[in-house]
Structures are given as structure tokens and as C-alpha cells.
Chains A and B, each alone.
Chain A
Amino acid sequence: MNEQVWVGAGAQVRAPLDQVTQGSCPPIVLEARGLGKQFNTGSRVLEAVDFSARRGERIALVGSNGAGKSTLLRCLVGLLPFGDGTVEILGQRFSEQPNRRQRAALRRRLGFVFQFHGLVGRTSALSNVVNGALGQGYGWRAWSQALAPKQLRADALDALAAVGLSDRALDRTDTLSGGQSQRVAVARALVHRPELVIADEPAASLDPVAGAEVMRVFHGLAEQRGATLVFTTHDLQHALDYSDRVVGLAAGRVVLDSPTVHLRASDLEAIYRD
């Protein structure tokens, strides 16, 4: 295995925020420094995590169950408070948790896809995608497709078409398959054209074919819209196929940070063995 890809070498692909220029090196849109998190039970789930993402980058976070991947993502976007360190994401810098104003500013420019799609089962696919714009200032008009303004409704339908589901727009999401539901969740995350998309194991609850389809659609859309993409996965092939950089976590620490071109599946398997 190529030793250079392990942490330390990973620092070569990162640069401090103040050294970034607008030239050849895209700016950093997400940076965590010394991030630490302890649960109420006393177990430390994240330990001094340094992590960054540049605009347009696609980063796969890998690691075994309990390594801290999902917790890291939730801390980065302010869904979970953390104890130590700071996060700077899309220009919002915070410790512990973003304040109300920062959170609102953040959500306007961020998309999040969960492992279990988190759709509202009793409403239509189109309504669920319209809900994706709830942080954009539409207020009650984004509660349902029936109330949505023309432009938002059209954008939501476009997003559904982009994931190949415009023909199911008015079907209740509890009538869709797992793969279709996750594609609706992708459409919901992308309807407001976020600059940064965070996805927590978007294909984990799906069979291999549906999972690959979701990742293909998801990656394609993010690329087409110029969004930065950070996703966690246990599927090492997905990590290699759909990322520019892979970050590995083990027991709450970053143990790998490397450009994907330097990696083979066997390198990633080592994270799960250690």
C-alpha cells in the first residue's frame, strides 16, 4: 500500500484558509479544525478532527460503523453541537453550534441527503421536493406543492425530472421504491441549487443496483450544478468512483486523507481492518 496517502501526506492537498487565492486553487468552503465531540454517555466520538473541502471538490468519508462519520457530518452542518474546535462552512464560523442567524444563512446554501431518505410519506414526491426550499424564505408557500409559487413548483419539477421521476410527481412517496425515494431525497436536497451538498450514506439502505443508480444521479447532478459534495459511504467502489478525495475515519480520528487517484480498494479496506 502507498504509505504516502496516510495522514500527514493528506496535508499536501489542503492549504490554510488565509493562503488560498482565487487563482488555480479553489477556495475552501468547509473547514473543521480540532473538532471534538463527546456524547452524554461519556464516549468520545470525534477526536481533534481536521477536515476541509474546496469548492467543487467531491469527498468520500469512509470508516467502520461508529467511526464518527455521521456525527462529523451533523456537527459540520450544525445539526449536532460539538465540544472542541471550530467549523467554518460557507463563510459561517462557529464553535459548538451555529447561532440562529448563521444556521439560516447556512441552510440557504446547503443541501443534505440522509441515509434513510426522511421523506414525508403521506405527501407527494413534488411536495417533498418543494419542502427542500423551506429555508429559502418562501414561508408557508413551501409547505406543499399546492401552495408553492409557480417558479418554485417549476424548479421542483425540474429537480424531479433530473432524477428521472417527473412522471411520479403527484404520487405519494410511500408508494415509491427505496431507490426512487432516495432519488426524491436527492431532488429535495438540490432543488435550491446548494453550493455544498452533504450526504450521509445516501445509498446504504438500497440494493446494489438502486444504490449505484442513486450515486450516479447524485454525483452527476452535483457536478452539473457545480456543487461541492461530501458523502459518507461503506461502499468502497462508490468512494473510488464518485470522489476526488477520500478521508478515512477510525475511532473518531482522521487516519487517511488522500486524492482518490492514489488509492485502490485495498488501501481503503485497511481502514476497516485497523
Chain B
Amino acid sequence: MTDPLRVPHVVSSHELARWPRLTPVRFTVLVALGAVLIASIGEVAPGPDRLIGALPRMASLLDRMVPPDTDPAFLGRMGLRLLETLQIALVGTVFGVLVSFPLAWLAAKHVSPLNMGRWISRALVSLFRTVPDLVWALFFVSAVGLGAIAGTLTIIVDTAGFCGRFFAEAMEESDPKSREALEAVGARRIDILFASVVPNCMPSFINTSLFALELAVRSSVVLGIVGAGGIGQELKSAFELFQYPKAATIILAIFVIVLLMERLTDWLRQKMG
């Protein structure tokens, strides 16, 4: 009996191309990218001789870091700095999320009450996101002076850029049918936002905010290097004063804090999922 699924092929398998055809444009782009990569490796990548030469110095540095400093007075001071770091991250994230929400709404296609004007909001979110946090920290240290306030402002801007983009994407992808249904009953854009978009996007908003908190903890650790408060300031001092055991304690503390924060946000994500 003939198998009904076996029908004669119009073309045989060896006639079908396995790979997409390499057009002249694709070929040119590939060659250009390859050239840029090879040139960059030659300029900035460490050569084997440099790496081998640095190994003894790395070993010596690690040797001087052991054992980490456990002086109670130092641990107490470091604990306060760690607390400040977490405060910067938490307050910065909460305010950053609050700032990003209206920005995302104004920027989101089909959800925003603005037409062309939404590009202004989109551009602002891009600016916040693309400028690195250390650059924002330098800006705010110059504007408001050394300390935690500059760090908090940096995290607010950083979070607004990160959440602004992902909140806007979530809003754009939210169920269009429920949006249309509310539009049909005469809902305004702000009504649609709070009655349909926010409930539909809530899991995504929570996930993004928790990621933002994780990022904020990592960022706030290094902000002190440019004088924007937190544990980074202690780390910078320890290295500058060749107090390597102190630096080792701080690095271990940062590792534990970031790890705990990741575990906490994972747990919260599971609970709220």
C-alpha cells in the first residue's frame, strides 16, 4: 500500500540551497566587520607575553590581600558604607521606576496620548540609558557635591533609562483587544492605561523593576569610585593607600551583597510570578 504522505517532490533535496546566498552587500559587510575586529584585537587585546608577564604581579597582589582585614572598627565602618550602598540602590530604584512609568507611557506606541510628541519622551529615555552610570555620577557629583545624594540621583536616571525602555515595550505589546474594547466604551488614554495596560503588564513591570534593583546594587557599589557615596569610596581608598587586606574584605562583602540581592530578587520573581 502506498504511503499517502509520500508524494513526488517538485525539486530534489540537492537542488535546495543549504545556506542563504552570499550577496555582494553581505560579503562586503562581513569583510568590513572582520577587518575592524582584527584591527581592534591588535590595538587593545592583551597578548600572551603581557598576560604571562602580569601573572607574578597578580599572584603577589593576591598574596598581600590575604588574610582579609577583620578589625571590628573597620568592619563597623564598612557595614555602614554597605548600608548606604543598599539605600542608594533601593531609593534610586524606587524613584527611578516612578520616573520611568510616565516616560514609558508617553513613549509607547498605540498607548501614548501623544502622537509625534512621544519621540521626545523616547529620546529622553534613550539619553538616560545610553550614557553610562559613571558619567552620570561625575555629572551629579559636580552638580550636588560628593556623597550619597549624587549616587541616588545617578541610580534614578539609570533606572529611568532601563525601566523606561522595557516598560514602554511591555505597554506596546499589551493585549490590543482589551485596549480596543475599552476604547469602544469611550475610555480615555489614561483610563486605558490604568484599567487595561497596567494590570496586563504588571508581571513584566515587576520583573523589570527587580532586574533594575539588581543592576542598581551593582552600580551603586562602584559609584563611590567617583565620589558618589557607598562602599566604592572605601574600596578606592583601600587600593590608593595599599591596604590590600581591607580591599579584600570589601570585595568579599560586595560579592556576598550582590549574590544575596540576586537570590532575593529571584525569590520575589517566583513569588509574584
A interface residues (Cβ-Cβ under 8 A, vs B): 77, 79, 103-104, 106-108, 110-112, 114, 116-123, 127, 131-136, 139-140, 142-144, 185, 188-189, 192
Contact = CB atoms under 8 A, between A and B. Distances in A.
B183 A79 contact: yes
26 contacts: A79-B183, A107-B184, A107-B185, A114-B181, A116-B177, A118-B178, A118-B181, A120-B178, A120-B195, A120-B199, A120-B200, A121-B178, A122-B202, A123-B199, A127-B195, A131-B196, A134-B182, A134-B186, A134-B188, A134-B191, A136-B186, A139-B191, A140-B194, A143-B194, A188-B181, A188-B185
Contacts of A77: 184
* A-B pairs with lowest CB-CB distance, top 7: A135-B186, A107-B186, A118-B181, A134-B187, A112-B184, A118-B177, A122-B199
Contacts of B202: 122
Contacts of B175: 118, 120-121
Size category of the B interface is 10 to 19
B181 to A, nearest CB: 3
B180 interface: yes
A131 B195 contact: yes
B186 A122 contact: no
Given A104-B186, A107-B185, A122-B202, A134 B195 contact: yes
Given A120-B199, A121-B178, A123-B195, 18 more contacts: A107-B184, A108-B186, A111-B185, A112-B184, A112-B185, A114-B184, A116-B177, A118-B180, A119-B181, A120-B195, A122-B200, A123-B199, A131-B182, A131-B187, A132-B185, A134-B186, A139-B191, A140-B191
B199 to A, nearest CB: 4
A144 B184 contact: no
A261 to B, nearest CB: 31
B232 to A, nearest CB: 40
Contacts of A131: 182, 185, 187, 195-196
Nearest to B177: A118
Interface in B174-220: 175, 177-178, 180-188, 191, 194-196, 199-200, 202
Nearest to B190: A140
Nearest to A108: B186
Contacts of B196: 120, 131
B174 to A, nearest CB: 10
Contacts of A121: 175, 178, 200
Given A107-B186, A188-B185, A144 B195 contact: yes
Contact of B191 (A127, A143, A185, A188): A143
A131 B186 CA distance: 10
B171 to A, nearest CB: 14
A108 B181 CA distance: 14
A155 B196 CA distance: 21
B186 A103 contact: yes
A189 B186 CA distance: 11
A142 B191 contact: yes
B191 A112 contact: no
A179 B183 CA distance: 23
Contacts of B200: 120-122
Interface in B45-95: none
From B182, B184, B187, residue with most partner A Cβ within 10 Å: B184
A112 B195 contact: no
Contacts of A104: 186
A102 to B, nearest CB: 11
Contacts of A185: 181
B105 to A, nearest CB: 14
B207 to A, nearest CB: 14
Contacts of A140: 191, 194
From B175, B178, B187, residue with most partner A Cβ within 10 Å: B178
Given A120-B200, A134-B191, A134-B195, A79 B180 contact: yes
Contacts of B186: 103-104, 106-108, 134-136
Nearest to A172: B199
B82 to A, nearest CB: 37
A135 B185 contact: yes
Interface in B147-188: 175, 177-178, 180-188
Contacts of B188: 134
Contacts of A107: 184-186
Contacts of B184: 77, 79, 107, 110, 112, 114
